[in-house]
Structure 1
Amino acid sequence: MTSGGTVHAVRTTARLLLGAFLVAAGVAHLLVPAEFLAQVPPFLPAPGAVVLVSGLVEIAVGAAVLLAPARLRPHAGLVAAALFVLVFPGNVAQYVTGTDAFGLDSDGARATRLLVQPLLLVWALWACGSGVLLRRGRRRVA
């Protein structure tokens, strides 16, 4: 296998894992919603509805990452990255309030979760090949 073929195989595997991760997380929102209430920032109304809707969104985004045709995968990656940005305030809220959930039962564990969030964003962009869209957008601005 050529190095280009190896990179393609690794990127495809990363994309499939990301999609499966998102779908599984979304399903978990529906099956064990109480665990996800810890991540709903206190300023948002209707925490139960936020957990339900965010779970459905995660399932949809995960499905897009898994099933989008090649020409649309970079867009799916941007949407997944945006999702990681949008849920970040929930992770911050969990840290600030010191709420335990998902085995995150210490400030250190919750802080580590905050540090992982940017890695998820990069994972989404790289695995879906979204760099092409970001470069295209940068050329238009320049």
Structure 2
Amino acid sequence: MAEVGESRGRRIGRVALALVYGAAGVIHLAKPGPFAVITPEWVPHPETVVALTGVAELLGAAGLLQPVSLPLRRAAGWGLALYALCVWPANYNHMQLDMARPDHGLGLGYHVPRLLAQPLIIWWALWASGAVRRRSAKE
């Protein structure tokens, strides 16, 4: 499962990210309701979009874990990075919906870190998959 020259840290990061996205994909498919509710109104067919996001997460996780093709693994990283960017509006919408509630739902203590973590998740997908590498170092 490890590529030649892949550091232990990158391998752990890749497997961890695959597990996170795999679990998220299963949850999106098994319990789509909460995700459909936070989908912005401008997104058509929220239930279908949620199902497709679950499939995308599962395929991305499988791509990260597959041991055969490094280009496929890197493509999975790019796909998951783009996915994380594309779901940002749903995360923002979730914050708006929660903050409009009298009890403020999960509150800013949940939503602000979640929104700020999105660039880190994008970077994680690119780094863990090997899609981005430092030029001057082996790893």
Give the conservation status (yes or no) of the 8 Å contact 1:20–1:66. no
Moved more, 9-18 or 71-80: 71-80
Moved more, 17-26 or 31-40: 31-40
> What's the C-alpha RMSD, in Å, of the aligned pairs?
2.3
CA distance in 2, matches of 1:48, 1:131: 33
Matches within 5 A, 1:47-66: 47-66=46-65
Q: Give unmatched runs, 5+ long, in structure 1.
A: 136-142
Partner deviation per Cα, 1:20-55 (whole Å, 9 max, x = no partner): 111110000111112212431111122211111111
CA distance in 2, matches of 1:71, 1:47: 33
TM-score calculated relative to the size of structure 1: 0.78
Deviation, structure 1 residue 60: 1.0
In the other structure, the counterpart of 1:112 is 113
Give the conservation status (yes or no) of the 8 Å contact 2:32–2:51. yes
Give the conservation status (yes or no) of the 8 Å contact 1:15–1:128. yes
In the other structure, the counterpart of 1:44 is 43
Q: Counting helix residues as a fraction of each chain, which structure ranks higher?
A: 1
Aligned residues: 126
Asked if 1:82 is matched to 2:91, the reply is no
User: In 2 relative to 1, CA 38–116 (structure 1 residues): closer, same or farther, beyond 3 Å?
Assistant: farther
TM-score calculated relative to the size of structure 2: 0.79
Partner deviation per Cα, 1:4-32 (whole Å, 9 max, x = no partner): x7x70110010011111111100001111
Q: Give unmatched runs, 5+ long, in structure 2.
A: none
State, as a whole percentage, how many aligned pairs show the same letter.
Answer: 33
Give the conservation status (yes or no) of the 8 Å contact 2:21–2:61. yes
In the other structure, the counterpart of 1:124 is 125
